[in-house]
Amino acid sequence: MDMHVDYRFKGHRAARRSRSLLPGEVCHVTAFARDRVPWFVDFHVACEVVRAFRQPRVLGDASLLAWVLMPDHVQWLLEVGEGTPLEKVVARMKSASGVLANRMLARSGPLWEPGYHERALHPIDDARAVGRTIVADPLQAGLVQHIGDYPFWDLAWL
């Protein structure tokens, strides 16, 4: 065994294959822009990204319960549907948004990091509370004083 594996891959987080979620289960997903480049500070690029991941054909039978688009990452609260596994929904959302953002930025290549972080909510978790935490990210990051001043978020329970 190579003794230097930890050193060589320090800071690298491999994409985890998500566990198979049952229909109706809710998952908190975070995806980062490639190299954490803040592509989404540009209002028009952010609008294109949001437009992409809210398309019904992209979501399939999953439900987008809450989301926030930050300058260099996105957080989604997704309810898994009957026919499309979580990893497929996330891949579609990243792909569709990457195509539109790249067109707007006049660039090519991957927009998103290859993996994503996910945490399935337990039945005892309050999805609404998790959603409120997600949309409060711009406040926590100091981007705005009031959440109403930040345009790139939504919460299904409003």
CA dihedral 87, 60, 81, 63 (to 10 degrees): 100
For the domain 21-155, what is the CATH code?
Answer: 3.30.70.1290
Instruction: Indicate if the pLDDT at residue 1 is higher than 60.
Output: no
By CB atoms closer than 10 A (0-12, 13-18, 19+), residue 155 is middle
Q: Which of 7-21, 59-73, 122-136 has the lowest mean pLDDT?
A: 7-21
pLDDT tens, residue by residue, 75-112: 999 999 998 899 999 999 999 999 999 999 999 999 99
pLDDT tens, residue by residue, 24-73: 899 999 999 999 999 999 999 999 999 999 899 999 999 999 999 999 99
